[in-house]
A = this chain, B = another copy of it.
Amino acid sequence: MINKKVDNVTAALQGVKDDMTMMLGGFGLCGIPENAIAELVKIGVKGLTCISNNAGVDDFGLGLLLQKRQIKKMVSSYVGENDEFERQMLSGELDVELIPQGTLAERCRAAQAGFPAVYTPAGYGTEVAEGKETREFDGKMHVLEHAFKADFAFVKAWKGDAAGNLIFKGTSRNFNPNMCGAAKITVAEVEELVPVGTLNPDHIHIPGIFVQRIFQGATFEKRIEQRTVRTK
């Protein structure tokens, strides 16, 4: 077993520098790497390009990095929940590349799986396809989208072991598995680091080969964005 365990978030983020490109898992605030984000704020690295489906909310998630002006560019599919984001974008302080959600997922997966690019129908005929190669297959138009290139991928899982194996829970899975192994270094933070050998090999969502560093997060707030309930 190849040991990926590091002691804490500080060790996990060794090598993070200004102007790097980061992938961050999560959908809304669900399944985001809270500990890595907090550490990025603490380190104070600047000029980051962040690939993440959303940009957090004003005071949580990637919103914390936006507040501190640590992000130069966001690559996302939906940023509707963040006023500071919208302000920085409309004022031109922040460079934003909006891309379709499925394209975002697949550009991650392409990087993970060694594909240079994929043809997807999403975005054909729209701004998203401007300047990109398009091509017809079976009478349907497609856009060529390239694999992401990132320095770090920060993902959050439910359980993991020192071998780097990961298991996700519910919809907090989302982009996290697709980003594992899609950057030079993948850092996984887990709610629970369990002894090697206790995870059922059939239940593992991401084999440890895709993960370089793993640690148990000190805290997980797991904030709920839209608390919707019904009454009994």
Contacts and interface: CB of A to CB of B under 8 A. Distances in A.
A120 interface: yes
A167 interface: yes
A20 interface: no
B137 A202 contact: no
A142 B118 contact: no
A3 B140 CA distance: 32
A138 interface: yes
Interface in A135-158: 137-138, 140, 142
Interface residues of A, number: 20
B116 A116 contact: no
A115 B120 CA distance: 6
A227 interface: no
A202 B120 CA distance: 28
A119 interface: yes
Contacts of A137: 116-117
Main secondary structure of the interface of A (DSSP, over half): loop
B120 A119 contact: no
A15 interface: no
A213 B17 CA distance: 52
Interface string A93-120: 0000000000000000000001111111
Nearest to A149: B138
Contacts of A203: 202-203
A74 to B, nearest CB: 24
Contacts of A168: 202
A142 B169 CA distance: 36
A115 B118 contact: yes
11 contacts: A114-B121, A115-B119, A116-B119, A116-B138, A116-B140, A117-B119, A168-B202, A169-B202, A170-B202, A202-B203, A203-B203
Interface of A: 114-121, 137-138, 140, 142, 167-170, 173, 201-203
State the 10 A-B residue pairs at the shortest beta-carbon distance, nearest first. A116-B137, A203-B203, A116-B119, A169-B202, A115-B118, A116-B142, A117-B119, A117-B137, A116-B138, A115-B119
